[in-house]
Every structure is written in C-alpha cells, then in structure tokens.
C-alpha cells in the first residue's frame, strides 16, 4: 500500500491522496488509466554514454510534478521520452495507461510538449499564430475558435496579441507558447524549463498560468534547474542528478526530511550522500 501524501498548494490548500487505488494492473498487464504517468526503470544511452540510469516516478492527474537537477542531469532526455519524441533504451513509460513506444500516436493526441528552445513564426501576430495552431489541432471551425479564445485569455496579452511576434519580449513569447500548449486541454502537459531566461515578474505570471490550467485536471511534468521556483510551483519534485533520481517528495516533505530551509539546500544534501 502506497502512503497517503498530503500536498500543500501555495495559498490554496488542497489534499490529494496518491495511493494504490490509482494504480492497478489491468487485464492485459498494462497500467491503470488512473495515473497520468508511470515511468519505470527508464534508461537511455547515447552511444556508450548512459544519460538515464533507470529512473522511476509517477504523476497523478491534476498534479504538477517537477524533475529538478543541474545541467546535464537527464531532465530533457526524460521529458522527450515521455513526449514520444525519443525512444528509451530500456524500461517503460505509460501515459494514462498507454505505452510511449507502442501507443505513441494515441498519446500524442492527449499530451502537449513545450521544449525549452521553442519558437514561433515571428512574422505572424500572436493571434495569427494561435489561429494557425488551432487549425492544426482541430478541423471544426467552432472548436478552433474556442481554442483561440481560450489561449488568448490564458496569455493575458490583450491587445498585444494583434502585434507581430517579432516585437514580443521573451516573457510574452513564453506566455504565448505556453497558452498554445494548453489550449487543446491536454491531459498531460510536458514543459521543459517553463521560465528559463525570464525575469521575476514574467516568471511569476508563467507559474500562475500553469497553476490555473492544472486546476482543470491537467497533469504537468516539468523540468527546471531553478530549485526555488519549483518549490512554489510543484506538488511534488524528483531530485535528479547524473541520470539518477535520488529522492521524490513534496517540497515541504523533502525540506522536513533533510532539515533544510529550501530545495537548493536539500539538493546539495541529497547528491552528497
């Protein structure tokens, strides 16, 4: 029986029970659709170099789960495997019970992936870009309009959506891309370094944007090397370094466990052990 985990979400207190009820083998021996993501003993080698040494973790629906670790830890590699872009060397990852290797096409219908270095067509306006992307994701005109409306509201960019993307700041660009990533109401959003390169104000906006959209039940798997940021944003975090997950828990649970004031200090302690 898995332990029950009480999660504190900023100023919004919510308790989430993550227990074995969510996960059971189905009749084909696959995983229950109860969990948004189940990663088991995942390994990835690039040639002779093993970037992931067999990582395991789970993400519940509506949960924000962060892989935190320094450059080169293996975060992007793990995210790309879950996003069905990269094949694992061994191990498994199931998204709502579907195997990333066998059911990649079906998984792509219910996830969205935002890479760290994502860009958009600079000559389009923000609105033009959202309309273009909505047409790619839906054939029905009414659904396309709904997607564009939803994304426009989420960006918070207002009239600036009518300006060319080439005139946007990094923060505006990231808001636009994140809004695009969640406009189709994915069941799992995979976001690599959501606020990388942004100033404090833009970073706070992005965090709030992610928080608001998960209130609808979307699960989020994100990566960050900014440990203080994930402390505010994530329900649970996995501490990853050199391809190994060293510990998983709520930010508060990990701080309590290691007797540290913040996740940066927890990280140093964990990787030293």
Q: Where are the alpha helices (DSSP H) in the chain?
A: 75-82, 104-108, 126-137, 141-155, 170-182, 200-214, 227-233, 251-258, 263-272
- In the bound state with ligand ATP, the residue whose beta carbon lies nearer, of 134 and 248, is 248
Sign (positive/negative) of CA torsion 193, 196, 201, 205?
A: negative
- In the bound state with ligand ATP, the residue whose beta carbon lies nearer, of 10 and 72, is 72
Please state the closest distance from residue 27 (CB atom) to ligand ATP, in A. Answer: 35
Please state the closest distance from residue 70 (CB atom) to ligand ATP, in A. Answer: 7
Please state the closest distance from residue 58 (CB atom) to ligand ATP, in A. Answer: 20
Please state the closest distance from residue 124 (CB atom) to ligand ATP, in A. Answer: 27
- In the bound state with ligand ATP, the residue whose beta carbon lies nearer, of 182 and 245, is 245
Cβ neighbours for 3, distance < 8 A, ≥ 6 positions apart: 19
Task: Judge residue 103's burial from the number of C-beta atoms within 10 Å of its C-beta, 0-12 exposed, 13-18 middle, 19 or more buried.
Answer: middle
Three-state DSSP state, 163: coil
Q: Tokens 């990852």 belong to which residue?
A: 93
- In the bound state with ligand ATP, the residue whose beta carbon lies nearer, of 51 and 271, is 51
Please state the closest distance from residue 92 (CB atom) to ligand ATP, in A. Answer: 18
- In the bound state with ligand ATP, the residue whose beta carbon lies nearer, of 46 and 121, is 46
Three-state DSSP state, 198: coil
Residue 247's region, left for phi above 0, alpha for psi from -120 to 50, else beta, is beta
Under the rule (CB under 6 A), what is the footprint of ligand ATP? 46, 49, 51, 69, 71-77, 225
């Amino acid at each position: 029986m898995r332990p029950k985990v009480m999660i504190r979400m900023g100023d919004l207190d919510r308790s989430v029970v993550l227990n074995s009820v969510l996960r059971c083998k189905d009749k084909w021996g696959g995983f229950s659709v109860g969990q948004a993501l189940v990663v088991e003993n995942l390994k990835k080698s690039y040639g002779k170099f093993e970037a992931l040494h067999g990582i395991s973790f789970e993400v519940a629906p509506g949960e924000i789960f962060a892989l935190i670790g320094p450059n080169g830890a293996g975060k992007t590699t793990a995210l790309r495997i879950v996003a069905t872009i990269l094949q694992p060397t061994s191990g498994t990852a199931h998204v709502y019970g579907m195997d990333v290797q066998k059911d990649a096409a079906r998984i792509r219908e219910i996830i969205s992936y935002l890479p760290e270095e994502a860009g958009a067509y600079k000559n389009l306006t923000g609105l033009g870009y959202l309309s273009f992307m909505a047409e790619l994701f839906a054939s029905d005109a009414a659904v396309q309009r709904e997607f564009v409306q939803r994304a426009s509201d989420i960006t918070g960019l207002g009239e600036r959506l009518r300006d060319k993307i080439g005139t946007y700041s990094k923060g505006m660009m990231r808001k636009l891309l994140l809004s695009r990533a969640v406009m189709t109401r994915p069941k799992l959003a995979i976001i690599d370094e959501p606020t990388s390169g942004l100033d404090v104000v833009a970073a706070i906006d992005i965090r709030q944007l992610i928080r608001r959209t998960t209130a609808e039940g979307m699960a989020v798997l994100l990566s960050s090397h900014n440990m203080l940021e994930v402390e505010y944003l994530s329900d649970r975090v996995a501490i990853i370094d050199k391809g190994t997950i060293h510990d998983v828990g709520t930010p508060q649970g990990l701080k309590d466990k290691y007797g540290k004031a913040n996740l940066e200090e927890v990280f140093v302690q964990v990787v030293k052990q």
